[in-house]
Structure 1
Amino acid sequence: MTQHQIAVQARFRPETLERVLRVVRHRGFEICAMNMESASSSGNINIELTVASPRPVELLFSQLRKLVDVGHVEIQQQTSSSQQISA
């Protein structure tokens, strides 16, 4: 299974994170790690997701871009899960 790191910039609203997580689940991706922080004074949030799936990440990317409160989505890195195994 391939892991992908995705950065999402969105407006800070109570339902935004819920919508992002719902899209991830509906597209068949598993969340391996997540970090969210608010941007300084712009009223936005930055969400960093590490997701895993055998499906193409472009499916998730295109759906996240369609969300109303999402301003920017970027695929940052792709790794295979075999590289993530630690002793």
Structure 2
Amino acid sequence: MKSLLIIQGHNSPEMLERLLRVVRHRGFSVQNLHAETSENEQTLHLTLTVYSEREISLLTKQLEKIFGITKVATLSQESMIKASA
């Protein structure tokens, strides 16, 4: 199932590397990644589309534990379809 994650965290290369490592280790594949920094360049806003047959909660619980990540929000494939209709 495809899921859309909206992630906010500190702008550092280490945080992004940790995030992608957790995504891979939890059995999810990245379909799309968009990143923007805030005006002061201290905060990174990520939109990440992932795919897996696993429950998305397995990934989000681990992402919330990563040092530097301050917020994780999820939209499932069903929510994305309803939003676009």
Mark yes or no: TM-score above 0.5.
yes
Range with bigger deviation, 51-60 or 34-43: 34-43
Structure 1 CA distance for aligned equivalents of residues 13 and 60 of structure 2: 21
Q: Equivalent residues in 2 for 1:1-87 (5 A)? A: 2-41=1-40, 43-75=42-74, 77-79=75-77
Identity of aligned residues (%): 34
Secondary structure of 1:24 counterpart: helix
CA RMSD of aligned residues (A): 1.4
Secondary structure, aligned partner of 2:18:
helix
1:13 is displaced (CA, Å) by 1.1
TM-score (norm 2): 0.87
**Which has the larger share of helix?**
2
Q: How far 1:14 sits from its partner (Å)?
A: 1.9
Secondary structure of the residue that 1:18 maps to in structure 2?
A: helix
Runs of 4 or more, structure 1, over 2 Å off, are: none
Give the superposition deviation at 1:42.
5.8
Q: Deviations over 1:21-61 (max 9, x none)?
A: 00000000010000001012261100110000000000000
In structure 2, C-alpha distance between the alignment counterparts of 1:44 and 1:71, rounded to whole Å: 9
Aligned residues: 79
Q: Secondary structure at the match of 2:24?
A: helix
